[in-house]
């Protein structure tokens, strides 16, 4: 299995390295989005020290870490799978002696390895030098573990969305709507503590916060949502349980969906 992961990841790395200029767009887009947040929150914090438990520095740190973590976990497995199903090209994977999920996961590893070099590291430097935001994890080991679990969660959520392609001819619409909710409820646009308390409690039980919000809070060093507070070890443990549940769900969906595949495309 490790040989497969290594082989596919390396091939994907080389394939995407040919399009490295596409990835370098992040050098422009990431800091630009951050600049918007910088102006918004600097203005909003005028005359206020704390908003929803965040100081201005903590808020900017939140957005900085969210940007960097998204470079770590970004994923296109769902789009890829539904495209393969829709075009009928998925048939070739039925003949391969490797599960498509493992193949797609290995592709993601290769893709993000390149992203780490071309997106995360340069943008980290921009944040540090240009914005004077020092992104240092409260506990490096818990942070790495939580980011890895976020990496898995992102993959599994997207993969499940891709599996819906077995039932739906075109999943662009449904995929877009789920992706939008995923990002909103993962705390990408605004910390989840800004949402009404009841919604925060509901969000705790959905898988989305484990993609980005939990890794970000673990990075910062404390966790709270909907009035609930957990230690870092507890929330990472809960995150791991959710990843296992999502893995089981993807397996279940896969077994149901594969029976629908006809190989003719649409």
Q: Which residues bind another protein (CB under 8 A)?
A: 19, 21-22, 25, 28-29, 32-33, 36, 39-40, 42-48, 51-52, 168-174, 176-177, 180, 184, 189-190, 194-195
Alpha-carbon distance values, 74 to 69, 87, 209 (Å): 8, 24, 15
Which segments of the chain does DSSP mark as H helices, in order?
2-17, 20-23, 26-44, 56-73, 77-87, 91-94, 100-115, 121-130, 140-163, 172-185, 197-205, 213-220, 232-258
User: Least separation, in Å, of the C-beta of 46 and another protein?
Assistant: 5
Alpha-carbon distance values, 120 to 8, 77, 112 (Å): 22, 20, 9
Choice between 135 and 168, CB closer to another protein: 168
Helix, strand or coil for residue 6? helix
Alpha-carbon distance values, 46 to 32, 189, 195, 210 (Å): 22, 21, 21, 32
User: Least separation, in Å, of the C-beta of 78 and another protein?
Assistant: 15
Choice between 124 and 148, CB closer to another protein: 124
User: Least separation, in Å, of the C-beta of 173 and another protein?
Assistant: 3
User: Least separation, in Å, of the C-beta of 84 and another protein?
Assistant: 18
Choice between 109 and 184, CB closer to another protein: 184
Asked if residues 212 and 70 have their Cβ atoms less than 8 Å apart, the reply is: yes
Helix, strand or coil for residue 31? helix
User: Least separation, in Å, of the C-beta of 48 and another protein?
Assistant: 6
Choice between 51 and 126, CB closer to another protein: 51
Choice between 117 and 238, CB closer to another protein: 117
């Amino acid at each position: 299995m490790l040989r497969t992961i290594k082989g596919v990841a390396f091939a994907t790395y080389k394939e995407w390295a040919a399009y490295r200029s596409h990835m370098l767009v992040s050098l422009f887009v990431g800091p630009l989005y951050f600049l918007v947040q910088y102006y918004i929150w600097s203005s909003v914090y005028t005359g206020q020290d704390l908003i929803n438990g965040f100081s201005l520095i903590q808020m900017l740190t939140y957005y900085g870490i969210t940007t960097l973590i998204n470079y770590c976990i970004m994923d296109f497995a769902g789009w890829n799978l539904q495209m393969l199903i829709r075009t009928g090209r998925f048939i070739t994977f039925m003949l391969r002696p490797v599960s498509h999920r493992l193949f797609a996961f290995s592709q993601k590893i290769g893709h993000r390895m390149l992203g780490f070099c071309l997106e995360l590291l340069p943008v980290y430097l921009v944040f540090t030098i240009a914005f004077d935001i020092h992104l240092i994890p409260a506990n490096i080991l818990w942070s790495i573990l939580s980011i890895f679990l976020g990496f898995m969660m992102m993959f599994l959520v997207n993969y499940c969305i891709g599996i819906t392609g077995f039932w739906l001819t075109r999943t662009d619409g449904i995929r877009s709507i789920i992706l939008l909710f995923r990002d909103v409820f993962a705390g990408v646009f605004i910390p989840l503590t800004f949402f009404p308390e009841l919604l925060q409690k509901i969000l705790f039980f959905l898988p989305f916060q484990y993609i980005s919000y939990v890794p970000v809070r673990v990075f910062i060093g404390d966790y709270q949502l909907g009035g609930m507070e957990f230690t870092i070890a507890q929330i990472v443990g809960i995150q791991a349980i959710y990843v296992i549940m999502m893995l089981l769900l993807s397996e279940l969906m896969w077994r149901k969906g594969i029976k629908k595949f006809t190989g003719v495309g649409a």
